[in-house]
Amino acid sequence: VAIKLLAVSLDSNDSDMIQRFFAEAQITASLKHPNTIRVFDFGQTEGGALYIAMELLNGKPLADHLDDRAEHDQVLTEEEAIQIGVQTLRSLAEAHMANLVHRDLKPHNIFLHEVVGDDTVVKVLDFGIAKKLGSNMTGTGKAFGTPSYMSPEQAQNRPLDHRSDLYSLGCVLYQCLAGVPPFEGDNPLAV
């Protein structure tokens, strides 16, 4: 297993951070699709550290794979991009059927898991800022996500649904084939 830790003081007043951590654990633990990272256990230690025990993966994030290709002035082939897209969509389909929106789909959160003697398996990671439709867990007035991959409505902190994740995946696939994100800028607001 891999252990994700978040150190917090037992007398910490950051209940929002603790709530988000447990929400990520509960959300991810409820998802069982083979293209989604598996969570086995989560909780808080006596010392106050929050932990999630999850599937240990072998390979690298798509972001690193794209960087490796860029060093050789290469991009992914259409077939490679399609394989990544299809497997990512399978993970998202389960989340969307559970009324969850990932809200931070990007190459860093798509992992290329190497399986000995078999094809690479795409794993969607980090449902840490996922939102259950109809909830307001993350508060108002806050835009969560990574600007280069955020849908316009997400960047404007407007109501979201599963289509926002599809927009983000479109941005990822564009980067797979073009070598750069579709939109870039000097700062998040410019993007």
Closest to 66 measured CA to CA, from 55, 80, 83, 87: 80
AA letter at 81: A
Instruction: Give the whole-angstrom CA distance, residue 20 versus residue 38.
Output: 18
Q: If 0-12 CB within 10 Å is exposed, 13-18 middle and 19+ buried, where does residue 66 land? A: buried
- Within 10 angstroms of residue 164's Cβ, the number of other Cβ atoms is 24
> Model confidence over 141-175: pLDDT tens digits?
455 678 899 999 988 889 889 999 999 999 999 99
Helix (H) or strand (E) holding 116: none
Q: How far apart are CA 176 and CA 179, in angstroms?
A: 6
Tens digit of each residue's pLDDT (9 = 90 or more) over 49-85: 888 899 999 999 999 999 999 999 999 999 999 999 9
Q: Answer yes or no: is pLDDT of 107 > 60.
A: yes
111 vs 88: CA distance, rounded Å:
10
* Nearest CA-CA partner of 108 in 128, 124, 129: 124
Measured CA distances, 126 to 1, 73, 111, 119, 122 (Å): 16, 29, 10, 22, 13
Q: Which two tokens stand for residue 10?
A: 């037992």
Tokens of 185: 């800028």
For 93, which DSSP code?
Answer: H
Rounded CA-CA distance 57/37 in Å is 9
DSSP state of 36: B
Among 11, 16, 68, 104, the one annotated catalytic: 104
pLDDT on residue 137: 46
**What is the C-alpha separation between 46 and 138, in angstroms, rounded?**
26
- The segment with the largest mean pLDDT, out of 25-29, 116-120, 131-135, 141-145, is 116-120
- Residue 104 known to be catalytic: yes
Of the two residues 140 and 168, the one the predictor is more confident about is 168
pLDDT tens track for 2-54: 998 877 655 556 677 777 778 777 877 889 999 999 989 998 888 888 888 99
- Give the three-state DSSP class for 119: coil
